């Protein structure tokens, strides 16, 4: 098994439980994921036509690689080719590179512990973007 695959599986313990035969209620076959995800997005207000902009520093280099392997995902869920990295919202003039997640959390006043589960990482990205935009508005 390639190292990256082991890491991806380890991020989601429920997925490992399923693979070991302990099926969880949320489990979907790969053929179902695109349609189910698109339906959920539509319930959240997506029109199904415009491309959505994904967020998160690893989306383009990591997550997208898994999603595009799912049957019909790229045809059913329209994603813009660009992604939003919340690090740009917490960049300071003295930084020589984009801040990592821990630094972004600290600068946003959030607990800097990184859970490294898909759901917690996604929620953290949303929090960082909201706080970063709020900071921009306050300084404008």
Instruction: Give tens-digit pLDDT for 28-83.
Output: 788 888 998 899 899 999 999 999 999 987 888 888 888 888 999 999 999 999 99
- How much of the chain is in helix, strand and coil states, percent to nearest 5? 55, 5, 40
Is the CB of residue 82 less than 8 Å from the CB of residue 112? no
Task: Give the per-residue SS3 of 1-39.
Answer: CCHHHHHHHHCCHHHHHHHCCCCCCCCCCHHHHHHHHHH
On the question of pLDDT at 25 being above 60, the answer is no
Tokens at 111, concatenated = 């607990």
**Domain boundaries, given as residue ranges, for the chain:** 3-76, 86-139
Q: Tell the burial category of 1 from Cβ atoms under 10 Å away from its Cβ (0-12, 13-18, 19+).
A: exposed
| Helix, coil or strand: residue 51 | coil
pTM of the model: 0.69
Instruction: Give tens-digit pLDDT for 106-131.
Output: 999 987 776 667 777 888 889 999 99
Is the CB of residue 101 less than 8 Å from the CB of residue 114? yes
């Amino acid at each position: 098994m390639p190292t990256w695959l082991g890491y991806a599986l380890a991020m989601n313990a429920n997925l490992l439980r399923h693979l070991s035969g302990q099926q969880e209620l949320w489990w979907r076959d790969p053929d179902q994921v695109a349609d189910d995800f698109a339906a959920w997005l539509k319930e959240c207000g997506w029109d199904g036509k415009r491309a959505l902009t994904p967020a998160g520093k690893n989306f383009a280099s990591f997550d997208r690689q898994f999603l595009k392997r799912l049957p019909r995902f790229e045809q059913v869920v329209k994603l813009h080719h660009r992604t939003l990295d919340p690090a740009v919202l917490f960049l300071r003039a003295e930084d020589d590179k984009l801040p990592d997640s821990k630094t972004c959390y600290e600068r946003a006043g959030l607990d800097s512990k990184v859970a490294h589960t898909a759901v917690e990482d996604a929620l953290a990205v949303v929090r960082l973007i909201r706080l970063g935009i709020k900071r921009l508005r306050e300084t404008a």
